[in-house]
Amino acid sequence: HPAAAEVISAVRRCLLTDGFLLLEIPGLARLTERVIEQCAAFHNLPLEEKELCHHSTDPFKWGGYFRRGEEPAYTKGTVSHLEDFGVSYHLALEEATRKAQMWPRRPRKFKEAVIDYLLGLSPVVDALHCALKIAFGLSDYEASDTSSLLRMLKYPPGVTGIISEHTDFEVFTLLHQTSPGLQFMVK
C-alpha cells in the first residue's frame, strides 16, 4: 500500500537522521489522562502503602514499586531520586498472565487504567515494530523477543540531577511528559 510505504520510509528517514520521531496518536488522549491520574494518585499514597507492592515483596511477581534511590543512576557515584512503578507490557496485555504482575491495592482503578491504556497502545506498538522490521530489513526480528515496560516515574519537584544522562536500551521508547525537564539529544 503506497501510504504504508510512505510511513515506513518516513520512519526510517527520521530514525537515521534525527534519531527520534514524534507520533500523534488519535484516540489515546483519554486513556493517557486516566493512566496519568491513577499514577499520580499512586505516587501520592503514603510510603507505607506503596511498599505493599514493592517489587521485592513477592519473588513470583514481576514489576511493582521502586522507591527513591533504587533506580540505576547510570553514572558511578550518583543516586537516582525518582520513584517508579513498573508494569510488564506483555504480562499486562494477556488476561492469563496479569496475575504474575505486581499490582497496588490502591488506587482502586489503577490496574484497570493501566490495562486499558496498554490495550489502546498495543496496535501502535505493533505497527511500530512492523515498520522498524520492514524499514531496516530485519527479517529475523520478532517483537516478542523484546522486553517491554510501562514505567510510571515520579520525579520530585525542585531536585536537579534526578537521573543522569543515559541511553534507553529498548528498541524504542514512547514518552509522555507531564512537566518540563526531560531532554534528549539528536544524534
The answer to whether 113 touches 37, Cβ cutoff 8 Å, is yes
Question: Could you give the strand order of the β-sheet that contains 83-88, starting from the edge strand earlier in sequence?
Answer: 64-66, 83-88, 149-154
Query: What is the pTM for the complete model shown?
Result: 0.82
Cα separation of 62 and 30, whole Å? 27
Q: Which of 28-42, 99-113, 153-167 has the lowest mean pLDDT?
A: 153-167
**109-127 tens-digit pLDDT:** 999 999 999 999 888 888 8
Q: Which pLDDT value is given to residue 166? A: 65
User: Which residue has cell 513498573?
Assistant: 86
C-alpha cell at 84: 517508579
CA 64 to chain centre: 13
CA 169 to chain centre: 12
> Cβ–Cβ contacts within 10 Å for residue 26, how many?
5
Per-residue pLDDT for 168 more than 70?
no
Question: Across residues 148-170, what is the average pLDDT?
Answer: 71
The top-scoring range by mean pLDDT among 14-18, 26-30, 32-36, 145-149 is: 32-36
Q: Which pLDDT value is given to residue 93? A: 84
Would you put residue 101 in left (φ > 0), alpha (ψ -120 to 50) or beta?
beta
Strands, E, within the chain: which ranges?
A: 64-66, 83-88, 149-154
> Cβ–Cβ contacts within 10 Å for residue 101, how many?
20
Q: Report CA-CA distances (Å) from 154 to 24, 93, 134.
A: 23, 23, 35
